[in-house]
Structure 1
């Protein structure tokens, strides 16, 4: 009866050891610590002085001691045997069945490394550490310098423990893959950010150069105007200079932004109107210019076309609407929520009115109509107590840098 009671206590202690180790293994990310603790718990659970965990290496076809308990320095980290039937652990690995050697002194079938004799090892038990749907991880072995006659209960304890250890190994492998994947993703994200920063710098440099070159061309055209006495030639040069100036303002508006294919047209329009007033002749000092603009993001082609349209219509008012040199010009941009996908651009003056004549040589108005057609818009004008140009055009929304129909 006392013997049975001792056996029951031992089984309960072994079951508690498996449960405790399972909790530890699930909370510990370091596989080496998990293996080392497994070796200690196994040795304690079977009341032996030594234990070790051997990892199978496929290329070398051997078993390497990854962790252990009780061994002198030099054992852990070295190969214990070939993965074949020439050793206790090799036989267990090859057959997939537990290998029991109650007395190695009388078993001459094995080739044992020297450290078995150095530690006085007499009895061993080896079980496979399985990995589901994969090559077994290796071998769990307990070793004793005192002869033991191991029974099925001992085998069951080691087998159950090896199964728990196998899950810990598999979890560690999955975690390592996940961490590797995360690190690779971080590397890719860092590289993407580096390329985006590089692209941003190059885009800003390009914008600077384009803007500066356009301003240089504008300055050259303005200088040519001073040297040209022909009125027709002056009108042509002014028209070209005005359009170059409008393009330069597009790039000036882009500077300092991260966007490469779209910009806030409202902000650009207000800046353009201020500059259009500044570049007029001195005899326009009594003509006021005001701008009221909603904020709407448009692609650069649309912004460029609308900028030229505004420049042409505003300059047309400056040149022809106010023979006495007095008046007002108002530019407005309206986005009506009740009219989805469309915006309205209006250019109004309180001058003498405008009547478009068939065969007129005023190329600016013709250019305006062509540009409105190009952007898919509509244009109309009212000449009553001045002139009102009304341009409606489609708008798009930009989300995450990608255009989509509004």
Structure 2
């Protein structure tokens, strides 16, 4: 194995009570906050820039640069908002991180808030994750009791309050401006930009919005140094990240490794494909990224290499599918999701995802036409770059890439239902009686 795992955020997830303050303190917990409070705000921002940390929420924007976009202090408040609204199909890294080691996030929030001059930070969590919500609330309570949050933190005179807010379960609120509207009590819909959140964000004040994993990575950078972090990864994609493997692999789960590792290496760590099956297609960054096939097994999983190969690294949600799966069926399920979660604010996304859903449903039931395939691509072309936010763009990615790599399966959708071409009992992950599978398919 040429690329070893780098268990940093995940290194004590197997502790009996990994989520507690006591466990976190045994693993250098809050030492980085002590160090950060002796540094200037400029030094902290520069250290983050030097580390090369890029946003771990999908876009990959340099984190330190985002902090540096804030205007000079004007005497008014400024805010940090952590985007914990992890909602995309296949994306499952932030949730286990908050569940198993929430204090990484809490300490990161404290350091980041100090670096940008924020005195009230918010963690916006997907509302259905009640167990994670309770665990975060407990972690914040422990941090207050220990003096890591609240008034006069560590005797430095710095004050910080942290609010954990549970949303109502809308995927669109993963878009940063829709999240801010929701946090303010309004309907979650994307805002027109500019102004950007760094200038007018929460309550029309300068705001930094970062992903959970981005903020959770800050304490290790501060404690061990920017050079330590940048020594991992690739030239332009520095550091480590959590890669989420799901689907037809022997050992699905979270694998923390340097950016630039390949799927071939990750599959080796995960015990290979389930039952020795052949890899058919996979997503490098979640369902909103163009799919890859087995010809991309050796593409380095960093921002530049994945983009050069025609997709996006996104959230490193690697959904693995073997040859028992219908591509048309999988893509149709994803489009059902995007059509349902479209906020309806802009016409291309609202209408486009609706018609993608209708056409894909016909094709998966073997009732499509040859013209339907070209119509899918045409609709995607009219959504891409014309929607108000990235939801519309993301919805087109699995469709156009699937047609590119597996057009013959879409053509089969003009005469053969997916369940005849790909009997579902062959692809289920668990032993299920054939009768129950057929009943579920017929619904």
| TM interval, short-chain normalised | under 0.3
TM-score by length of 2: 0.19
Question: In terms of Rg, which structure is larger?
Answer: 1
- In terms of fraction of residues, the more strand-rich structure is 1
Bigger relative contact order, structure 1 or 2 (CA pairs below 8 A, ≥6 apart): 2
